[in-house]
């Protein structure tokens, strides 16, 4: 039960990230480039402070930082750059589709292929996600946006699997944020589209970075090693559904039968994936 609650809390943090990003950018409070940079900076500051408060050091210069920080930077950059031209629903489908494929492929390469039941459950869950998120009307499928979101999906998949061997979840996440920050800032100096920044946008970016990203990612790293790689891929499909539900509850968006049935498919697919071999320790 404790693992279930921690997993739900982590997925809720991921969903909150989507809501905070959307509110800040859609309201004109901040452009995607500035939001991403401030998000990583806030996460780094808070996480380093927490590590120091526990009397520990931040393990910056470790070989594992190449993978951890590098993949985090790819995810942050690709995610924000993609939403400059990509519809939110289609972007989420591309992101989580690539995450699924990448994790399954890497796990198979490492000798931990998904079980048939996990593949079946994953397909059902992803079909539910497609049903909920598929854009209506004209689809904005900019090739560069698709490329950026595909890179973000690969980055997040690698970052997630890297967490399975992280000895200290909090310190490792702090180090990843610190080492990813220069790359995020450097790239967005060239790719960013500066726009007026409002105080509300700054506050939302700080909350996203410090709480739902920084602490959320540290929590994810603390539990991800307890799941098989296939289950890690499937359980994350709950995050966009929780984001949609959050939009209904917090942003006064419309609840539809399509959302209810799609959410049921996603959760049902996760449940089908869970038995036998889902938890590894």
155 in Cβ contact with 73 (< 8 Å): yes
Find all residues with CB under 8 Å of 189, minimum gap 6, and list them.
Answer: none
CA dihedral 14, 19, 22, 25 (to 10 degrees): -100
197-253: pLDDT as tens digits? 788 889 999 999 999 999 999 999 999 988 888 888 888 888 888 888 887 887 777
Cα(216)–Cα(211) distance, rounded to whole angstroms? 7
Domain boundary assignment for the chain: 2-273
**pLDDT tens sequence for the chain (281 residues):** 788 899 999 999 988 888 888 788 777 778 777 888 899 999 999 999 999 999 999 998 888 889 999 999 999 888 877 877 777 677 788 888 899 899 999 989 988 888 888 888 888 888 888 887 776 665 556 788 889 889 999 999 999 999 988 889 999 999 999 999 998 888 777 755 556 778 888 999 999 999 999 999 999 999 998 888 888 888 888 888 888 888 788 777 777 777 788 888 888 888 887 765 455 54
CB atoms under 10 Å from CB of 145, counted, come to: 21
Residue 59 token pair:
């393990």
Q: Which of 260, 273, 265 is nearest to 233 (CA)?
A: 273
Find where tokens 């560069």 sit: 144
- Termini Cα distance of the chain: 14
Cα(118)–Cα(68) distance, rounded to whole angstroms? 26
pTM score, two decimals? Answer: 0.87
Cα(41)–Cα(182) distance, rounded to whole angstroms? 9
């Amino acid at each position: 039960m404790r693992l279930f609650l921690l997993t739900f809390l982590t997925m809720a943090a991921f969903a909150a990230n989507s809501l905070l990003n959307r509110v800040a950018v859609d309201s004109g409070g901040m452009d995607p480039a500035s939001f991403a940079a401030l998000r990583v900076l806030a996460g780094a500051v808070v996480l380093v402070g927490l590590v120091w408060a526990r009397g520990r050091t931040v393990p910056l210069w470790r070989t594992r930082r190449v993978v951890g920080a590098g993949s985090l930077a790819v995810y942050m950059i690709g995610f924000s750059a993609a939403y400059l031209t990509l519809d939110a629903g289609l972007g989420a489908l591309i992101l989580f589709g690539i995450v699924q494929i990448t994790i399954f492929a890497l796990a198979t390469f490492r000798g931990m292929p998904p079980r048939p039941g996990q593949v079946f459950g994953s397909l059902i869950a992803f079909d539910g996600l497609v049903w909920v998120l598929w854009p209506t009307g004209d689809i904005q499928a900019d090739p560069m946006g698709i490329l950026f979101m595909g890179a973000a999906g690969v980055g997040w998949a690698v970052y997630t699997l890297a967490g399975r061997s992280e000895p200290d979840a909090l310190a490792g996440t702090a180090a990843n944020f610190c080492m990813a920050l220069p790359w995020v800032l450097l790239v967005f100096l060239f790719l960013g589209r500066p726009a007026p920044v409002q105080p509300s946008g700054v506050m939302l970016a700080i909350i996203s970075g410090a709480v739902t990203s920084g602490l959320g990612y540290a929590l994810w790293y603390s539990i991800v090693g307890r799941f098989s790689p296939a289950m890690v891929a499937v359980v994350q499909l709950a995050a966009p559904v929780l984001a949609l539900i959050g939009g209904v509850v917090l942003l006064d968006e419309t609840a539809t039968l399509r959302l209810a049935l799609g959410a049921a498919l996603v959760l049902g697919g996760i449940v089908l994936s869970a038995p036998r071999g889902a938890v590894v320790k």
